[in-house]
Amino acid sequence: DLPAHGGSDAGEAPTVEPAAADIAELVEALDLEGAIGVGWSMGATLLWQVLTGAAADRFAGAVVIDMTARVLNDAGWALGLSPEACEARSAAIRDDFERFAIDAGQAIFAQPVDGGTRTLADWASFEFARNDPRTIAALWASLVRQDVRALLERIEHPTLVVHGAQSRLYGEDTADHLVAALPNARAVRFERSGHAPHLEQSELFNQSLTDFADRLFRDRADRNEEV
């Protein structure tokens, strides 16, 4: 879990950098080799931090799900969210976290949420509501301050960029930017998904991840044979 998510307390990592450092420490403690990092939304930002840090060599590849290199838009950047949208989310977390959690759980899915997705969306709302409001506020504020565009060109790990065609947060142009900015990346578009393709089209996502891993390790084996 990230700090204050799932069964974990807030700990000492209420911002992006310490949370990423925690992941790197875990990877080292588990002595992982040839891992594939999968980061969804804020998790992708954490993963990019890890892949440019001391634990980078322990990863064979990466999967990033519906995320941008910078959340906050400005005059020279339009592939994130407007300042008004970011402030509205900050206010919602601060003023009525329960309402925010319910709305967020629904909004990550393609709209309108139909009968087939309703149970999953309600589960997502419940999981959001379990989180600690103060830590979520701190993590969100830290995420809005992040700009990892300069990091992307340093990440040579093969990367699968997963994009939900019906995402209400980030468009196809955001995925295109990541593919162009990362040295070794390709995109896969999930037509019936919003912000959470791994939940909405789980079978297709799992197959895409399996195919990516198979190709990745086959390529690594071929390179080792050449050496």
| Run of H or E including 46 | helix 42-50
State mean pLDDT over 176-192: 97
- pTM equals 0.93
Cβ neighbourhood burial of 220 (10 Å; 0-12, 13-18, 19+): middle
User: Is 29 a residue whose pLDDT tops 70?
Assistant: yes
State mean pLDDT over 114-121: 91
pLDDT digits (tens, 9 = 90+) for 137-157: 999 999 999 999 999 999 999
Four-point Cα dihedral 90, 107, 161, 13, nearest 10: 40
Q: How confident is the model at residue 227 (pLDDT cuts 50, 70, 90)?
A: low
User: Is 221 a residue whose pLDDT tops 80?
Assistant: no
CA distance 144 to 108: 18
Give the rounded percent of residues in the chain with a pLDDT score beyond 90. Answer: 87
Q: How confident is the model at residue 5 (pLDDT cuts 50, 70, 90)?
A: confident
Q: pLDDT at position 115, please?
A: 86
User: Is 209 a residue whose pLDDT tops 70?
Assistant: yes
CA distance 199 to 108: 10
User: Is 220 a residue whose pLDDT tops 80?
Assistant: no
State mean pLDDT over 99-119: 94
State mean pLDDT over 17-21: 93
- Mean per-residue pLDDT over the chain, rounded: 94
Q: How confident is the model at residue 7 (pLDDT cuts 50, 70, 90)?
A: confident
Q: How confident is the model at residue 8 (pLDDT cuts 50, 70, 90)?
A: confident
Q: pLDDT at position 125, please?
A: 97
